[in-house]
Amino acid sequence: MFIVGLLRWWYTIGWQQRARMTMTRLESTMDYFSIGLLLRTMFALFRQDGAGSVDGPLSVKVQAWAGRMISRVIGAMIRSTVLVMGLVTITLQALLGVCVLAVWAIVPVLPITGFVLMTAGWIPWQF
C-alpha cells in the first residue's frame, strides 16, 4: 500500500507541483526580461539622451534631431539584443521544463528496469 501511495503522489500531486514550478520559473524569466515593455519602447530614446526641447538656430535643431535619432538607434539595438536573448532563454527553459516533466514520468520505472537488466546479465560498460 505504501508504494501505491507513493506512485499516486508521484503521478498526481508531485507532477502538478513540478509543472507549477516550471511555470513559475518561466513567468519569472518573462518578468525579468520584460518582453512586453521592450516591444513597447523599442524605439524610445536610449537613457533619455536629448529628451528636452531645443530652441535656437536650424543647425542646433538639426544637431539635436540627429542626436535623438542616434539615441533611438542605439536603444533599438540594445533592446533587440535583450529581446532575442530573452526569447532564447524562455524557449530553452520551456524545452527543459518539458524534458523534466517527461523524465519525472519515467523515474519510478527505472529501478524495475535496472533490476530486469541486472538479472538478465547486462553490464553497462561491456557491449
**Residue 67: CB atoms within 10 Å:** 14
* 55 vs 104, higher pLDDT: 104
Q: What is the pLDDT of residue 62?
A: 87
Q: What is the pLDDT of residue 32?
A: 94
The average pLDDT across 77-103 equals 95
Q: Give the angle subtended at the CA of 11 by the CAs of 5 and 14, to the nearest 5°.
A: 90
**All cell numbers assigned to 10:** 508521484
pLDDT-derived band at 127 (thresholds 50, 70, 90) equals low
pLDDT at residue 50 above 70?
no
| 33, 90 contact by CB (below 8 A) | yes
